Structure 1
Amino acid sequence: MALDTALLERTAPLYERVARVIPRVEWPTMAGDVDAILRLKRERNAIILAHNYQSPEIFHCVADVVGDSLALARRAMDVDADVIVLAGVHFMAETAKLLNPSKTVLIPDMGAGCSLADSITAADIRLLRQRYPGVPVITYVNTSADVKAESDICCTSGNARAVVESLGVPRVIMLPDEYLAQNIARETSVEIITWAGHCEVHEQFTPQDIAQLRESHPGIVVLAHPECPPEVVEAADFAGSTAMLSDYVEQRKPPRVVLLTECSMSDNVAVHHPEVDFIRPCNLCPHMKRITLANIRQALETGRHEVTVDPAVAERARLAVERMLAV
């Protein structure tokens, strides 16, 4: 059809961005939504924030701001738009709302949750404060606004150690990711009290996986996210946030690499590095994958689903996030 031909021609430059990771035969199923999203963004004065775990057609073709949790939190404060669409999970949309209370924040699917956020409640933190009076509570951004509101300061995987050491105390509570807290504890003299929360993607990786990768792909460089178990991080060549993993590939350009994190991360980094051979142990986040081009388009067309935070909770949660951003 002539319309389809015109659409494919109009979106061809966008496809070229992802041609290395999306087969050409699949692009016609995406082009219509991509084209509509770009139009709707202009009409609604909207901006799309996308996490590194989003699929390439979202990350490279419709997103305006991309990055890890810390980058999205920082950039959300400078957004010049009436509407923010968060292509990520619910706690990220809440954080964007906390930092932009006057803006409309939409999440395309309310079911896009997080195993870490689900692992702890505000009541849990109040009980921990009773058990450890006076010990400051550091909460990972992968938590609900209610949990952030009960915390002293937030952190991300990229700044966790800096946040821990910024408090100048010998002992902290760090929630809810047990593995992240254990990995940070190995890097600092501060005693860290942990909580038994885990990321359902990263907890699947094992040292045996790394051993098999090294046997099958001699010379491979293994990069791990710090939400992986400590024994996995110890067996890897480098560990860091998604931004740090991307920077490692950018700066060192290893001939062959594996990223022990969510599967789409490799696709998104590979787009910029045709010279690097990415081996992909594909662990998908079922929550991140609930965000699609189709429901991003629907969010912009209908204004659903708007994310709100109770003002009393938001004020306290915002303070914990702002303290983190000041470190």
Structure 2
Amino acid sequence: MEERYSARIARAGNAVPCLEWPLHLPWIDAIERLKRHRNAIIMAHSYQSPEIFHGVADITGDSLALAQAAADCDAEVIVLCGVHFMAETAKILAPDRTVLIPDPEAGCSLAASITAEDVRYLRALHHGAPVVSYVNTSAAVKAESDACCTSANALQVVEAMGADKVIFLPDQYLGQHVASRTAVELVLWDGRCEVHEQFTAQQVRHTREQFDALVVAHPECSPEVLAEADFVGSTTAMGNWLKEKQPPRVALVTECSMADNLRSQFPQIEIIKPCNLCPHMKRITLPNIHACLADLRHPVQVPGRVAARARNSLQRMLAIGRRDAV
């Protein structure tokens, strides 16, 4: 069995200790059989544990990459290894596919911070201002928005609205980062990522001094943390920056598994982890991936009217992303 999965094991590098592979491989083998039986594809966010990210995932990436993959998917079944809003997004963009989430309790502090009613309230306060919602939101919130965005394309989406004022929600810190880079006035919501808001500027300074490392931070961190960083960017942007700069040592101020998965991609770079674990992402495991495929457990459903309106917001985001990639 190890020979069959030698490429995946090699790709994981040291992210998965050798002693753990004998525990993971029977699950990986069983999941691979079920994928073939169900004509299924597994999509995994970059914050997933390495044994999932490297062991069973067919498509990996940030929220934008997974959304694009869902829109283009031709598999009958999509297993979304991430949090619930990501599975909702996949179902909205692939309505004729069966979308499963291994644990429906895998939530998100940002998605929980705002409701559709809140969006309608903001629209009433700021009449005529378009709404850009981060993908870390429920389908109902997306349905009340004019466009969605990810941390990778938030600036482009905001400026594509063609308005002097834009309501940007729910991540306050990401919104402040975008506001610092555009002349558009942003109306912000007081939502925060429970993982990234824990980092402090003092931690970043201590890490730099102790390890003599460059610092890369996610824009969901506080402005004080971002001010200390050598580079600020989305999960995909972090990987692109490492590829371009090739620093000998870098500290990644983000979710822990992101650092693990990038370490396997850049073994020549010493990656320091002043990181925090996302408790919601870690609810996804090999056993519950197997269970959801075996029994088609935890299918994701989005009401038709909500899905249609949310799809418009997501497709606008994807159209902007593809236009900018040309």
TM band (smaller chain): over 0.9
Query: What SS class does the counterpart of residue 154 from structure 1 fall into?
Result: strand
Separation in structure 2 between the aligned mates of residue 223 and residue 265 of structure 1, nearest angstrom: 12
Matched, 1:265 2:258: yes
Residue in structure 2 matched with residue 56 of structure 1 by the alignment: 50
Identity of aligned residues (%): 58
Separation in structure 2 between the aligned mates of residue 182 and residue 273 of structure 1, nearest angstrom: 31
Separation in structure 2 between the aligned mates of residue 166 and residue 16 of structure 1, nearest angstrom: 42
Matches within 5 A, 1:1-327: 7-218=1-212, 220-327=213-320
Separation in structure 2 between the aligned mates of residue 15 and residue 246 of structure 1, nearest angstrom: 20
The Cα of 1:23 is off from its aligned counterpart by 1.2
TM-score (norm 1): 0.96
Separation in structure 1 between the aligned mates of residue 59 and residue 285 of structure 2, nearest angstrom: 16
Separation in structure 1 between the aligned mates of residue 129 and residue 253 of structure 2, nearest angstrom: 33
Unaligned runs of at least 5 residues, structure 2: 321-326
The Cα of 1:121 is off from its aligned counterpart by 0.2
Query: What SS class does the counterpart of residue 254 from structure 1 fall into?
Result: coil
The Cα of 1:21 is off from its aligned counterpart by 1.5
Q: How many residues align?
A: 320
TM-score (norm 2): 0.96
Separation in structure 1 between the aligned mates of residue 17 and residue 318 of structure 2, nearest angstrom: 39
Residues 95-143 of structure 1, C-alpha deviation per residue, up to 9 Å, x if partnerless?
0000000000000001100000000000101111111111111100000
Residues 42-94 of structure 1, C-alpha deviation per residue, up to 9 Å, x if partnerless?
11000011100001111112111111001111111111200000000000000
Unaligned runs of at least 5 residues, structure 1: 1-6
Separation in structure 1 between the aligned mates of residue 244 and residue 286 of structure 2, nearest angstrom: 31
Query: What SS class does the counterpart of residue 271 from structure 1 fall into?
Result: helix
Tell me how large the CA RMSD over aligned residues is: 0.9
Separation in structure 1 between the aligned mates of residue 170 and residue 15 of structure 2, nearest angstrom: 34
The Cα of 1:9 is off from its aligned counterpart by 4.1
Separation in structure 1 between the aligned mates of residue 168 and residue 152 of structure 2, nearest angstrom: 14
Query: What SS class does the counterpart of residue 309 from structure 1 fall into?
Result: coil
Separation in structure 1 between the aligned mates of residue 258 and residue 74 of structure 2, nearest angstrom: 27
Query: What SS class does the counterpart of residue 258 from structure 1 fall into?
Result: strand
Query: What SS class does the counterpart of residue 289 from structure 2 fall into?
Result: helix
The Cα of 1:17 is off from its aligned counterpart by 2.1
Separation in structure 2 between the aligned mates of residue 89 and residue 302 of structure 1, nearest angstrom: 20
Which one-letter code corresponds to 1:34 in the other structure? I
The Cα of 1:8 is off from its aligned counterpart by 3.6
CA contact (8 A) 1:136 1:173 kept: yes
Separation in structure 1 between the aligned mates of residue 74 and residue 129 of structure 2, nearest angstrom: 38
* 100-109 vs 21-30, which moves further: 21-30
